[in-house]
Amino acid sequence: MSAAEVQLDAQGRLRHLIAIEGLPRSLLEEILDNAERFAPLGDRAVKKVPLLRGRTVANLFFEPSTRTRTTFDLAAKRLSADVLNINIEASSTKKGESLADTLRNLEAMQCDMFVVRHHISGAADFIARQVGPHISVINGGDGRHEHPTQGLLDAFTIRRHKKNFEHLTVAIVGDVAHSRVARSNIQALKILGVPDLRVVGPKTLIPAGVEALGVTVYDDLDEGIRGADVVIMLRLQQERMQSALLPSAHEYFREYGLTAQRLRLAAADAIVMHPGPINRGVEIDSAVADGMQSVILQQVTYGIAIRMAVMAMVMGNQALAGVH
């Protein structure tokens, strides 16, 4: 059974969110449309709505995260849910408790939703298959597999700036091979109909066979971003250099760092995105990260609306399925 099957119920409604891959375009658009309705709440005096009052969301982070965890936390709180933030690395598993036992304990605490981040690909999918019917699982990033809410918030950011996806050229630049963000972005943007989707990076950081996903591969940054409407920069993780896939941060910046001068090769109204945290002077120059075309901080804000939309939908679908 694929992730696509485990995350939809018999009526095709979203029950868990594990991966973008396999989701129908109509469902992605429904999530984006719902996020559009949650986005204005951030401008109000009271930013909360009572939709998930009385529900409990457990953030299970088996791997460190600041932005993703805090925005999931905020999203749940703005829906009036109660939130448990559990840093599993530092808790029970250290004492030898198995994952299955940790999950059973959380179920016994009558949680309604697990947000899972894990360093192993497939972890969220595995957990979704273990839990009872009254629990929904949302993948907050699993290994090199997917980070679906990031893919959705990036699509949301693009749609807000470019209105639709039909005529866009989007370049995803950097360490595509190790990036779950890149994988979710590629899936989301292909499903939403982006015609010209490019991945740009050194051959050592581009996964073999990625063309099969419908993208064009460039190993030259200038060529890769030429005429692009959207440039998505990926974080270069330091350990890639240690593992000898790259010579040095300095050299990487010279070849693949986005500077203001290079950005001029993209469309005049191109937007620059980055999932964060950014390495200034490694994959992106400060002048670009802080520049007029950067929408990096908007991505963070929109991430809250997307996560509210996903959480409200999976809980609402539980209600429709008669679980609550």
Partner 1 sequence: MSLQFDIQTLITQMATTLSHTLSQADITEPALIGVRTGGVWIAEKLSQLLTIPAPLGELNIAFYRDDFSRIGIHPTVAPSMLPFDVTDRDLVLVDDILYTGRTVRAAMNEIFDYGRPRSIHLVVLFDRGGRELPITAQVVGAHLNLQPGEHAKLTGPSPMHLEICRQRPVASAA
Which residues in this chain contact partner 1 in the complex, by CB under 8 A? 34, 36-41, 44-46, 48-51, 312-313, 315-320, 324
- Specify whether the CB–CB gap between 229 and 267 falls below 8 A: yes
Task: Give me the least distance between CB of 301 and partner 1, in Å please.
Answer: 15
Residue 26 or 66 having the CB closest to partner 1: 26
Residue 40 or 132 having the CB closest to partner 1: 40
Residue 31 or 189 having the CB closest to partner 1: 31
- Specify whether the CB–CB gap between 168 and 227 falls below 8 A: no
> Strand ranges (DSSP E) for 105-168?
113-118, 136-142
- Specify whether the CB–CB gap between 158 and 199 falls below 8 A: no
Residue 55 or 198 having the CB closest to partner 1: 55
Task: Give me the least distance between CB of 139 and partner 1, in Å please.
Answer: 20
Q: What angle do CA 302, 307, 313 make, to 5 degrees?
A: 130
Q: What is the SS3 assignment for 213? A: helix
Task: Give me the least distance between CB of 149 and partner 1, in Å please.
Answer: 17
CA distance 128 to 116: 10
Task: Give me the least distance between CB of 50 and partner 1, in Å please.
Answer: 6
Task: Give me the least distance between CB of 307 and partner 1, in Å please.
Answer: 14
Residue 113 or 296 having the CB closest to partner 1: 113
- Specify whether the CB–CB gap between 134 and 324 falls below 8 A: yes
- Specify whether the CB–CB gap between 276 and 235 falls below 8 A: yes
Residue 176 or 313 having the CB closest to partner 1: 313
Task: Give me the least distance between CB of 11 and partner 1, in Å please.
Answer: 11
- Specify whether the CB–CB gap between 146 and 139 falls below 8 A: yes
In degrees rounded to 5, what are phi and psi of residue 142? -130, 110
Task: Give me the least distance between CB of 8 and partner 1, in Å please.
Answer: 15
In degrees rounded to 5, what are phi and psi of residue 84? -110, 125
Residue 32 or 103 having the CB closest to partner 1: 32
Residue at token pair 């204005």: 40
Instruction: Tokens for 36, please give them.
Output: 């559009």
CA distance 67 to 2: 28
Residue 46 or 244 having the CB closest to partner 1: 46
Residue at token pair 């703005």: 78
Task: Give me the least distance between CB of 153 and partner 1, in Å please.
Answer: 18
Region of residue 310 (phi > 0: left; psi between -120 and 50: alpha; otherwise: beta): alpha
